[in-house]
Structure 1
Amino acid sequence: MRNISFGLAALAVTALGVAAPVGAAASAVTAATTPAPPPAHEVVIDPKPVAAEGPLISQRSLPTPPPAPLSETFELQSLPGAKRTVYLNFVGGTVAGNVWSDDYNDGKPITVEPFSMNAPVSTAFDDQELAEVQRMWQLVAEDFAPFEVNVTTKNLGKGAIDRTAPEDDLYGTEVWITTDGPVSTNCDCGGIGQIGSLPHVYGHDYLGGAWVFTKDEGTRRPLSKDVGESISHEVGHTFGLRHHGTSTRSYYLGEWPWEPIMGANYSMPVTQWSHGEYPDANNPGQDDVAIIAAASGQEDEFGDTSATAWALDASAPVAGIIQTRTDVDAFRFTAAGNTTVAVTEGPYANLDAQLTILDENGTTVATVDPPVDTINAVEASGLDASWTAVLPSTPATYTALVTGVGSGDPRIEGKYSDYGSLGRYTISLSTESATTDPDPDPVVPDETHPLAFTHPADGKPFLDDGSARITGTGTPGATITVTATGATVGTTTVGADGMWSVQPAAGTLSAGSVTLTATEVDNGVTRTASVDVDVLDASRVPELPLVDARVLAALGVVGLAFAAFLLARRRRAHALG
């Protein structure tokens, strides 16, 4: 167990009408009389964070880049349009006519100075201050990511904060983050808030808000860690949460790497909402998640089964949120070859992610849940989850399931359940296309049906009169395309007997020497065969004289031979020109 000592014990005071003095330093505060009796309120004073033993970070600012351009520092919104707003006021202003001015400044207005790390104190923030504002916002936004709450650095106006009637469903709270001032002087604390002021209907404006003071923070941890955790803690009070402590301590100190947000939440890298599951819990009946959800709402954005899975593509990572301990987000993807599915989280993560991969039959292929370990007060290892495999070359469909898990039995110090393992993540896919066998078996042509011309034969004449056919042999079922010196003559399919034929129309071929080529395509295999022929123009071949059939019959074989002789002489004469 680590030793952490606090300079001031936490104190909660309930008062009716005028607030009772709060703490020793508040004894000099004069109660102010308001025009109407103020509503009952309960103030919770939280001590300044004190450094603990262990792997801390001494630098005041984190080396990690801020989440947005510095020019957008006061435009940040975690969930624009949400009905609940948590406005982080770093620019200061005037507080008057509420419990803070009445109880801590004798009823006089309070001038709230802007947040500052470096002199002079002004709203002309330097780059270091702007970066730290963004990191504080990032931490608080992560804590409230499971809920319908917009954590913002932008002043959205009183309409986003005040609640004027029970039917007014658009409201929130304001947190003043400042170095010092009357409230800080009188409470001598690191933060102060009102229990349940955020959903309060009557007197919401009078009771609302919380404070975090930075003058003594960020001494041995980054300022964003100390202040950001303080903000989430105080906002938790405004939602109605009380402290998680033990029978002997107001705040549970935790053990590496875990502690509750409503405990002493400064020194551990994994801080989560709690249900008091840790040893010797003094407030096990307080269900942090249920209380905040009841005042804000939750909405699951992804299905939880293969049938309702969201499509995950290698070109576009998807951002998601685990919102409850039973929440499962499902993503469907197609992959082949070297494949990686990665679930990653940003700084200040509350989610301890588990990744499960299912095949198309729903069978579990892999479950990834790395062990969690402490790096320092801000960082822990093992919260992300990544799966890499070499899949078959044929693409197949898989489902990735993302959920939050614990690190072990929460009754053992330093361990936690899946209760508070909630928050943002990004899931991405990297995969190859279907691969080709590096040494495929060659497809051997069917040599029993060689590709060849049967007519015309190589070197023979071909009469282009529209009645002559070009014929040949080939693989049954294959496609044959015949060309004449590159020009298509005709296309056909080889018959079951291995024979094919093409009948070109008259005038298709040019007279003279022509190369006929037959190209066969079968199952991706291509073969060719060619012949050189002498194309005869039918229009220039003289007609045979009409010979009476009775004469031919009388001449018999001699007559037929004579007719053939005449035809041959005339074709030869035509060929010679």
Structure 2
Amino acid sequence: MNKQTSKKPVAKSAIAIAVMLVGGFSVYAGIALTEQVDSQASNNVAGTAKQSSPIVESAIASPLALTQTPSSVQVIPQGVTSFNAAKINTQLLPENPANAVSKPAAMSQEMMAKMELPADFVPNNAEGSTEGSPFSRINLKEFSSGEKAIALLGDNLDAVAKWYGMSSDGFRNLLVTDSTVHLDRKGRMLHIDDGLDANLPVGAAAGGTMQQATTSTTAATTAATSPFPLDQTFKLHTKPSSTRILYLNFTGDSANPAFSLDATPSTFSDAERILIQKVWQRVVEDYAAFDVDVTTEKPVAPAGKVGMTVLITPRTHTAGGYAYLNSFGAFSTGTASTFCFPNNLANSEKPIAECVSHELGHTLGLSHQGTTSVAYYQGQGDGETGWAPIMGVGYYKNLTQWSKGEYANANNKEDAYAVMLKQGLKPFADDHGNTIATADAMLSKSANGYNNLSANGVIGIPGDIDMFSFVAGAGNASFTVKGAALGGNLDVALQLIDSKGKVLASANTDATLGSTISFAIPAQGTYFLSVTGAGKGSALTTGYTNYGSLGQYSISGTTALPNGTTTPTPVTPPPSTVTPPPATVTPPKPVTPPPVANARSVAVTFDARGATVPGATIKSYSWNFGDGTAAATTALVVHTYTKAGTYTVSLSVVDSLGRKFGTSMQVVIK
């Protein structure tokens, strides 16, 4: 157990921390920062990370992608073998209770006034602009909702409705039908959202599979499954280089206490740190398709950054959270405009994460998704693929996704991605080609008599296809593709394809989000695996379309070894007291050397001069050419093969921190 660390900043320190990549997302910041940090965190930082992809560029042979050699590094917490949240937790909440969404608890005008942003704050209009807003001339006597809000706005109603991209009648109807919608004293719109229903007994069944445990009953069982080192809990990042920020503030501010599960609010226990990390993981997945840095570290120099802070803090009232609509804008470390209240979310990982993603959705322009009879839709289906919209109620279903209202009786069919784009959240750049011609080579390692293949990526838009190539010998081939370890949004569909584009096998299991495909490959050659997001059944009943099926995935597979392949000797990493972060990267596109008919000798150039490793420089190189000849120790080398055959070429490097990295590829000489 780690020593408890004070929640109050106690020391200033200039720090630079290492990078870990999980499904394409860096876990620790890759830049030097100077800010207030807690005393233990400042003493547990090792290494400096440079934010660049570790890539080896080759002049003739296939380009290589470096992957850290140690096989002991794990991406998911130890002991977690399934991504189904229901299998990780033990004490469960009801999946679909009829009264799970009640009327928001009334709050005093005094408490509402404490929520109000400064008078000069201007939310974006529906097109993402702040020019010509009507709010400077509006001064209402109190916070309001429903008919009272309509009356208080008076002649300003049309201008406010237009600002938010609504007709006057549509705005009136929203104020009357959605009791979570409020106006502050400047006429700006905010949502005060529900928490979990306090009247429901924890674990009570209500007509469906129960999903989520309360932290109070699972802290002891999850204490050993910290996803990342506990001292890095407040240094988590997805993309530090992005100009967009979503800051998850668990440490409080001058007016609001820090997140706490126990009776010692001045410190963060191990259980609290573990829960914070897992909340972060779930929110990361909801925003994996976007160019944004989801972080638990307070930005120090946000100049030029655009984003939002959500403060996760215990409060006395019974709301789950609140957010100003369209408030995503120039990032400020000052007053937060978005809150989640964990004490009204069972202090539990999944409800807190669902609240965070939901409230951030409001800041990005998204309204509630309900039906013609309820303000929040609670979802449909059951089990691992039980589904709900993020902007509805995500507490009681395992799979939550962005939605455009394709379910029955939906009252909001806005295109979530288009709305968020107008508010400034851009899509993540496509990381893999979507055709055979643009396929990326999977990382290949020969071991235990098999060709072991791996890759990872992100499905970024509906219909995105990621295509991967691999060389296999005749025999059985099997691939498993899994989504994010926690809160996965991606339902995976796979296809195995031959070099002529013929689909040999397909896989998409309705009951699970991941997929496995197996096939007996008839002959040695180059084959392809495609990954895409899938739907399930009918969105009008118990299923969903592929619209929200976006997110991270990882591929692992085995095939028969191609003829002539030898198994390279594994490289043993040096002992270290600091666990080195894995450097999982996307292999670049292959360039196959041209076949040479009846060749007695063929010279192949291998070039690793463009290779990089995270947070250090490369000090030595070792090439094994797979033909029994001596290793080469320079970055650029020309090797001559004297016999036809398929050779596994491996590259091992040692960096300035003493870490070993390596990769392998296959070269065919004819």
TM over 0.5: yes
1:424 corresponds to: 552
In structure 1, runs of 5+ residues without a counterpart are 28-36, 95-110, 161-167, 373-381, 437-522, 524-577
In the alignment, which residue of structure 2 is the partner of 1:508? none
Match of 1:458 in 2: none
**Residue correspondences, number:** 380
Q: Summarize the alignment of residues 229-240 of structure 1 with structure 2, pairs less than 5 Å apart.
A: 229-240=354-365
Identify which of 320, 324, 339 aligns with 1:190. Answer: 320
Pairing 1:439-518 to 2, within 5 Å after superposition? none
1:148 lines up with 2:325 in the alignment:
no
Question: Which SS does the other structure have where 1:215 is aligned?
Answer: helix
Question: Per the alignment, in what secondary structure is the counterpart of residue 251 of structure 2?
Answer: coil
Deviations 1:4-58 (A, max 9, x none): 333433899997445732579x99xxxxxxxxx9965211000112257233244
Indicate the residue corresponding to 1:3 in structure 2.
98
TM-score by length of 1: 0.61
Using the TM superposition, give the Cα deviation of residue 342 of structure 1 relative to its aligned residue in structure 2, in angstroms.
1.8
Distance 1:91 1:22, change over 3 A: farther
CA distance in structure 2 between the partners assigned to 1:93 and 1:22 by the alignment: 27
The Cα shift of 1:301 comes to 1.2
Residue aligning to 1:47? 194
Q: CA deviation at 1:66?
A: 3.3
Q: CA deviation at 1:347?
A: 1.7
- Name the amino acid aligned to 2:314: T
C-alpha separation between the residues in 2 aligned to 1:44 and 1:433?
Answer: 58
Cα distance 1:38–1:7, how it changes in 2: closer, same or farther (>3 A)?
closer
Distance 1:58 1:305 in 2: 42
**Equivalent in the alignment of 1:263:** 392
The one-letter code sitting in structure 2 at the alignment partner of 1:141 is V
Give matches, 1:99-498, under 5 Å: 111-122=255-266, 124-157=267-300, 159=302, 168=304, 170-180=305-315, 185=317, 188-199=318-329, 209-218=337-346, 223-256=348-381, 257-284=386-413, 286-294=414-422, 295-298=424-427, 299-315=429-445, 317-336=454-473, 337-345=475-483, 346-372=485-511, 382-392=512-522, 394-412=523-541, 414-434=542-562
Once the 2 structures are TM-superposed, how far is the Cα of residue 205 of structure 1 from its aligned partner? 8.0
Q: Deviation of residue 208 (structure 1)?
A: 5.5
- Amino acid in the other structure paired with 1:425: Y
Does the 8 Å CA contact 1:147/1:292 hold for their aligned counterparts? Answer: no
* Cα distance in 1, alignment partners of residues 460 and 351 from structure 2: 25
Question: In structure 1, what is the Cα distance between the partners aligned to 2:458 and 2:526?
Answer: 23
* C-alpha deviation, 1:76, in angstroms: 0.6
Residue 385 of structure 1 and its aligned partner are, at CA, apart by 1.1
SS in 1 for 2:302: helix
Q: Percent identity?
A: 33
For 2:536 and 2:366, the matched residues in 1 are separated by: 24
Deviation at 1:293, TM superposition (A): 3.4
Query: Which AA in structure 1 matches 2:353?
Result: G
Q: Is 1:198–1:208's contact at 8 Å kept on the other side of the alignment?
A: no
What residue is the counterpart of 2:575 in the other structure? none
Residue type of the alignment partner of 2:259? F
Structure number with greater CO (CA < 8 Å, separation at least 6) is 2
**What SS does structure 2 have at the residue aligned with 1:234?**
helix
Counterparts in 2 of 1:364 and 1:282: CA distance versus 1, 3 Å:
same
The question of whether the paired residues in 2 share the 8 Å contact of 1:197 and 1:204 is answered with no
Q: Give 2:243's aligned residue.
A: 83
Q: Which amino acid aligns with 1:322?
A: I
SS of residue matched to 2:339: strand
C-alpha displacement at 1:217, in angstroms? 2.0
TM-score scaled to structure 2, two decimals?
0.53
Residues 38 and 206, structure 1, Cα contact 8 Å, conserved in 2: no
Aligned equivalents of 2:100, 2:481: Cα separation in 1:
37
Deviation, structure 1 residue 158:
5.7
- Structure 1 pair 320–19 and aligned structure 2 pair: CA distance change class (3 A): farther
**How far does residue 255 in structure 1 lie from its aligned partner after superposition?**
1.6
Q: Max radius of gyration: which structure?
A: 1
Cα RMSD, aligned residues only: 3.0
In the TM superposition, residue 146 of structure 1 has moved relative to its aligned partner by 0.6
CA distance in 1, matches of 2:340, 2:506: 42
Letter in 1 for 2:539: P
Q: Is the 2:372–2:411 contact (alpha carbons within 8 Å) kept by the matching residues of 1?
A: yes
Structure 2 residue aligned with 1:71, among 210, 221, 231?
231
Cα pair 2:104 2:319 within 8 Å, conserved? no
Which segments of structure 1 move beyond 3 Å, counting only runs of 4 or more? Answer: 9-20, 37-40, 61-64, 203-208
Q: Which whole-Å deviations, capped at 9, do the CAs of 1:249-270 have from their partners, x for residues lacking one?
A: 1101112311100001110001
Q: How far, CA to CA, are the matches of 2:291 and 2:506 in structure 1?
A: 30
CA distance in 1, matches of 2:387, 2:517: 25
- Residue 532 of structure 2 aligns to a residue whose secondary structure is strand
Counterpart secondary structure, 2:319: coil
Paired with 2:361 and 2:99, the residues of 1 have a C-alpha distance of 22
